């Protein structure tokens, strides 16, 4: 009898181990799915935040390009260097806006449901586009010195005209 009881106990213990093993595997599968979901959600949230930033940059870039266009039109190309600088800044702004729009399109093309390799191929393209945009924005910096130089020129003109008016008043 002891032999049969021992075998029955062993079988019940083995069955409990199998049930525990199945529960552990199910728990492990749930943990992996939860981890994958959290990682996917975190990446999606970061890309959504990046897309919002790029959208704001597009709006500001369009407003800046419009301002430069009005400034260029209002100048009527009377001052050559100033007009050239504003035109260059306008072209750089339009190009940067186009690059930002392209980046938003690249961000929206990333699908987290597709294989990881396919999504990882799109990330370097987005990084290269971001670096290209930063490079374009750096290229336009020398043209901003025109505003600085023009402010000195205006200050000199204003100072000279005020000085002449003061001389005329002091002679009377």
Give 35-79 pLDDT, tens digit per residue: 888 888 888 899 999 999 999 999 999 999 999 999 888 877 777
pTM for this model (two decimals) = 0.70
Q: 97 Cβ partners below 8 Å, 6+ apart?
A: 58, 61, 62, 65
Domain residue ranges of the chain, discontinuous segments joined by +: 45-171
The answer to whether the beta carbons of residues 29 and 58 sit under 8 Å apart is no
Give 16-41 pLDDT, tens digit per residue: 889 888 888 888 988 888 988 888 88
Query: CA 47 from chain center: how many Å?
Result: 9
Vertex 151: Cα angle to 148 and 152 (nearest 5): 95
């Amino acid at each position: 009898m002891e032999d049969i009881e021992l075998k029955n106990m062993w079988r019940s213990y083995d069955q409990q181990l199998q049930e525990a093993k199945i529960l552990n595997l199910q728990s492990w599968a749930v943990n992996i799915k939860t981890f994958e979901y959290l990682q996917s959600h975190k990446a999606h949230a970061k890309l959504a935040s990046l897309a919002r930033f790029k959208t704001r940059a597009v709006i500001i870039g369009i407003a800046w390009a419009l301002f430069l266009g009005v400034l260029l039109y209002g100048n009527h190309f009377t001052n050559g260097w100033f007009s050239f600088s504003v035109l260059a800044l306008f072209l750089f702004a339009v190009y940067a806006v186009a690059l930002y729009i392209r980046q938003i399109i690249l961000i929206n093309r990333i699908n987290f449901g597709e294989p990881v390799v396919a999504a990882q191929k799109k990330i370097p393209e987005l990084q290269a586009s971001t670096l290209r945009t930063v490079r374009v924005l750096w290229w336009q910096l020398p043209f901003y010195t025109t505003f600085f130089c023009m402010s000195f020129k205006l200050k000199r003109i204003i100072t000279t005209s005020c000085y002449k008016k003061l001389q005329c008043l002091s002679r009377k």
